[in-house]
Structure 1
Amino acid sequence: MFKKFTNGCVRVVNRWLPDPFLFAIILTIVVFIAAMAGTQQGPLELVWAWGGKGATKDGFWSLLAFAMQMALVLVLGSAMASAKVCKRALGAIASLAHNKRSAILITTFVSTICCWLNWGFGLIAGALLAREVAKRVKDVDYPLLIAAAYSGFVIWHAGLSGSIPLQIGAAGGTEILGVNYFAPTGDTIFHPMNLLMVVVILVLMPFVNYAMHPDKEHTIVVDPALLVDEAEREYKIETPADKIEHSRILWAITLILGFVYIVYYFVQKGFNLDLNIVNMIFLFLGILLHGDLRKYVDAISDAAAGAAGILLQFPFYAGIMGLMVAANADGVSLASIIAHFFTNISNDVTFPVLTFLSAGIINFFVPSGGGQWAVQAPIVMPAATEMGVEYGRAAMAIAWGDQWTNMIQPFWALPALGIAGLSARNIMGYLVIVTIFTGVVACGGFLLWGMFF
C-alpha cells in the first residue's frame, strides 16, 4: 500500500511538473488576469506595471540586488562544500555509518544541520556525504539515501542563510508598498518557537526517513559507476602569472582583510545577520578552506552554473510583484484584495498557519525564497499589520511555507541529483512522506507560537 502511494505520487509529478521557469511564466499569466479582473485595470496599464514603469525600482528589474545576493548564497555555499578539507570531513562522518539504519540517520541529521547553516553548502555537502556513505554501506537503498540527504533542505529558510528573515532583519528593515518592515533575527531565526520546530525536525526526521527503507527485495543499490570520483584538477606553477595566482601572501592578505571586517562588523552591529554579512562569511571561509586563490576561483566557476535558475527567474518574480501591487485610481491592488480576504477568514493565531499553507502552494509556482517574498510580502505584511501579528512571525510563516514544499518541487534538488546521478522520479515518492511530516510539525508550531509567545 505504501509503495503504491509513493509510486503514484512519482507518476503524477513526472507527468505534470514542468521546468520551474515555466511556473514563473504561468504564474505571471494567472496574476495578470487576476489583476485585470480584481482591479479593473486595462492590459496596457498592467504591462507597464509589470515592466516597472520605465524605472528599476519597480517591476521587472526591481530585484537585481536581491537576485545577486541569492545567487551568491548558492554559489559561495557550493564552492565551500567542494573544498578538500570539507570533503575529508564528510568522509570521516561517512565512516561512522556501518549499516542501513546508521546510513540513513547520519545522512539526514548531518545534511539538515548543514542546510541550517547555509542552504547552498547543505545541498552540496548532503549529496557528497550520501555518496561517501553509499561507498561504505553497500545494501542501503540509494534513492532513499539521496532523498534523506535532500530532506535536510526542508529547514533551510529557518536557518542562518534564510533570505526572508535576513532581509527583514537587515539594518532599516525592508520597504514594502512604501512601508518599512523590520524584525531582528531574534524574532525570526533565533525565536524559541522557530528553534523548537527546527529541533523537532532535526531529531525525528532521520527516523521518519529510515522507516521508509524498502525490504531487501525492493532495495535499489547504487551503481558503482556513479561513485567514481572525478580526478582532482592539477596545477602547474611555471610562469610568473601562475606564481601570483597561487601566492600564499596574497591569499593571507585577502583573508586578513575579510575576517577583520567580519569581526569589526559584529563589534559594531551586534549579532544581527543579513544576507550581505552571511555571504561575506561564507566567501572568506571558502577562500580559507581552499587554501589557494586560484583553486577558489575555479571552485566558484564550477558552482556558478547552479545559479542559472535564479538569474533567469528573478526578473519574472519581480514582474509578478509589480502586477500584485499595481493599484487602480481608487488605490485597490490585487495584493490588497487578497490581504483583506485573509484578514476576514482568520485571527492572529490562525493567520500565520494559513499563510504557511498558502506559501507552500505558491512555492510550486515560485520555487525560490526570495521570489516568494517578492510575491507574498505585499499581501502578508500589510495584513499582519492590520491583525496585530508580529512581523517576525508573519515573515517566518512565508519562510516555512517556502521551504516546506521544496520537498516535492524538484528545482532545488537538481544539484544533489546531478552529484548522485539520479533523477527527481527516483526520490520524489520518499519526499512526499517528508512533506507530510514537516507540514504537521510546522502547523502545530505556528499554532503554539500564536498561543504562547
Structure 2
Amino acid sequence: MQSSSSIPAHHPAQGDVPPDTPPDIEQGTGLLSRLGLRFTAWAERWFPDAFVFAAIAVIVVAGAALANGSTPQAVVKAFGDGFWSLIVFTMQMAVVAIGGYVVATSAPAARLIERLAAVPRSGRQGIAYVALISMSLSLFNWGVSLIFSALYARALARRTDLRVDYRAAGAAAYLGLGATWALGLSSSAAQLQANPGSLPKSILDITGVIPFSQTIFLWQSMVMAAVLIAVSVAISFFSAPTGANAVTAQDLGVDLAEFKPAAPDPAKRRPGEWFERSPLLTILLCALGFGWLAQEFIAKSPLVAISGLNTYNLLFLLLGLLLHWRPRNFLDAVTRAVPSTAGVIIQFPLYGAIAAMLTAAKGHDGVALSDRIAHLFVSISNTDTFAVMMGAYSAVLGFFIPSGGGKWIIEAPYVMQAANELKVHLGWAVQVYNAAEALPNLINPFWMLPLLGVLALKARDIVGFTFLQLLVHAPLVLFMLWFLGRTLDYAPPVMP
C-alpha cells in the first residue's frame, strides 16, 4: 500500500491548477475538502495499522485497570479469560463478510451494482451516493450495508470517466456503521429489549419489555436518523477531494479487476467434477436451508428472526449459493472472500480481552473499571443532562468495547436503573445508547475490517474522512439526544 507521499502525480488538464500547486491548497478546494485532506494526510502518517491500534488499546486498558486497584494477577487472568470470549462472534463476523461478498459478487448482484454505479455524473456525486446507500441499508442490516457499499465503491472506482477519490468513497461506504445502523432494525439493544426471552433477568426486572414503538420507531428517533443521513451525505459530498487532489484506486495500486471464472474445458473435465458443475447439489441444499428458514420466520416475528446473526448468515450463504447456481462458482467466490476476514480473525480476540479487563478485573474495593466510569457519569447526571452525560459515556466506552449487544448487557443494569430513578423515558434511554454507540465506530478500526478487506485499503486511508464526520456528529448527536429527549415523558416499566 502506497502512502500519499508516493502516489504518482496527476497531470492536470488545461484549466487545472499548475502542477506545482500543493494539493492541499488547490484553487477552488472547499473548507471541508481541505480539512478532509489534512486529516487524511495526518492519519496516513501517524495512524497505526488496525492490529497495532487494538494492541495499544489492550495495554492502555490493562494499565488503567492496575491504576484502579486491580492486581496484576487479576488483570492477566481477565486478559486470558476474555481473549477467546468473542470467538463465536468472530466467526459470525467473518461469515458476514464472506456471505455478503459472495452475494454481492454473484452475476445478478454485480449487474445491479454496475447499474447503480453508472448513475453519478461526478466523483463527488458518486461518493454522496455511496454514503446514502450505506446509511439507508444499515437501517435494515449492517452486514448488507458494509459489503454492498464497499463493492459499490469499487464499481465507481472502475469508471474511467470519473476521477473518484477512493479513500473518500471508502469512508462514505463505512458511514452506515458510523452513523445510523443502531437507529434501525440492526439495533442489538432495541432487539434485546423487545424480546423478554433474550434479556437477562437482571435487566428485565429493571426495564421490563420495551417494544420497537418506544425505541427505534419513536418519531424522535426517526428524526434523528434522517438528520444524520442528510448531514453525513452533505459532508461526504463537500469533503470529497476533486481534480488533482483526488487519489484514485489506481493511484493507490488497488487491483479493481473483476474476477471472471474461466469457462471449463469439456475435454479436461473429470467424472468427479460432475457435482461441482451441476446445480443438483445447489437445489437440494437450498431446499433444506430455505425450508428451515421458512419455519423460523413462521414461528417468530420476521424482524426477530432476521436479527439473529446465525439466521442472517445462513440466509446469505444460501442466497449466494443459489445466485452462483453451481457449487464450483460458489466455492471460487468464497475463496476470493476469505482474505477480507484476516483482520477480523486476528484482532477480535484482543477486543474480547479488553472487554474482560474492563468488567472483570476488580479493584481492591470490588469495583471494576467499567463500573467506576459508569458511576462517575451517573453521579453527575440529572433528568435534564442524563442523555448528554450517558451518551458521552457510552461513546467513550464503545471505543474500547465495540460490541452493540454485548456492551448493552454490561451497561443496561446501571444505565436503566439511573433512568428509572431520574424519570427518563426508558425507550429514549435505549436510543441514547444506540445513537452514541455509533460515534466511536467512526475512528475505531474494529468494524472497518471487513470493509477494508473488500476495498484493499488500510484504516489510515479512510479515517481522516471519518474523523471529519465525527467532529460534526458528536456535538450534533449529543444535542439531539438532549433536545428531542425533552419531548418525552417517563412511563413505568412494563413487565411481561
Please give the TM-score of this superposition, normalised by the length of structure 1: 0.81
Change (3 A) 1:97 1:45: closer
Distance 2:353 2:173 in 1: 34
Equivalence for 1:55: none
Distance 1:265 1:362 in 2: 35
Change (3 A) 1:337 1:72: same
Write the mapping of 1:163-242 to structure 2, written as runs, cut at 5 A: 163=188, 165-166=190-191, 172-175=197-200, 188-214=215-241, 216=243, 218-220=245-247, 223=250, 229-234=257-262, 236=264, 238-242=269-273
- How far off is 1:12 after superposition? 3.4
Q: Is the 8 A contact 1:338 1:379 kept in 2?
A: no
1:17 and 2:47 correspond: yes
Equivalence for 2:183: 158
Equivalence for 1:90: 113
Equivalence for 1:384: 416
Equivalence for 2:90: 67
- Amino acid paired to 1:205: S
- How far off is 1:257 after superposition? 2.4
Equivalence for 2:375: 340
Q: Is the 8 A contact 1:76 1:120 kept in 2?
A: no
> What's the secondary structure of 1:62's corresponding residue?
coil
Change (3 A) 1:340 1:450: same
> What's the secondary structure of 2:275's corresponding residue?
helix
- Amino acid paired to 2:86: L
Change (3 A) 1:429 1:247: same
Q: Is the 8 A contact 2:286 2:318 kept in 1?
A: yes
1:241-280 CA-partner distances (Å, limit 9, x unpaired): 3222343232122223222322322322223233333323
Distance 2:354 2:167 in 1: 36
Change (3 A) 1:420 1:297: closer
**More helix by proportion, 1 or 2?**
1
Moved more, 155-164 or 304-313: 155-164
- Amino acid paired to 1:335: S
Select the structure of larger CA radius of gyration. 2
Structure 1: unaligned runs, 5 residues or longer:
53-58
Write the mapping of 1:19-58 to structure 2, written as runs, cut at 5 A: 19-38=49-68, 40-52=69-81
Q: Is the 8 A contact 1:408 1:432 kept in 2?
A: yes
- Amino acid paired to 2:290: F
Equivalence for 2:316: 282
- How far off is 1:184 after superposition? 5.5
Equivalence for 1:403: 438
Please give the TM-score of this superposition, normalised by the length of structure 2: 0.75
- Amino acid paired to 1:378: I
Equivalence for 2:294: 263
Q: Is the 8 A contact 1:157 1:399 kept in 2?
A: yes
Q: Is the 8 A contact 2:130 2:169 kept in 1?
A: yes
Distance 2:91 2:192 in 1: 13
Structure 2: unaligned runs, 5 residues or longer:
1-30, 489-496
> What's the secondary structure of 2:481's corresponding residue?
helix
Question: Identity over the aligned pairs, expressed in percent?
Answer: 30
- How far off is 1:90 after superposition? 0.7
Change (3 A) 1:283 1:444: farther
- How far off is 1:207 after superposition? 2.9
- How far off is 1:168 after superposition? 5.9
1:147 and 2:182 correspond: no
Q: Is the 8 A contact 2:282 2:326 kept in 1?
A: yes
Distance 2:283 2:37 in 1: 53
RMSD: 3.6
> What's the secondary structure of 1:109's corresponding residue?
helix
1:197-233 CA-partner distances (Å, limit 9, x unpaired): 3333334432332223446464456649857523412
Change (3 A) 1:445 1:21: same
- Amino acid paired to 2:224: M
1:293 and 2:327 correspond: yes
Distance 1:122 1:435 in 2: 19
- How far off is 1:122 after superposition? 2.6
Distance 2:447 2:314 in 1: 22
Moved more, 410-419 or 204-213: 410-419
Change (3 A) 1:48 1:85: same
- How far off is 1:95 after superposition? 2.0
Equivalence for 2:3: none
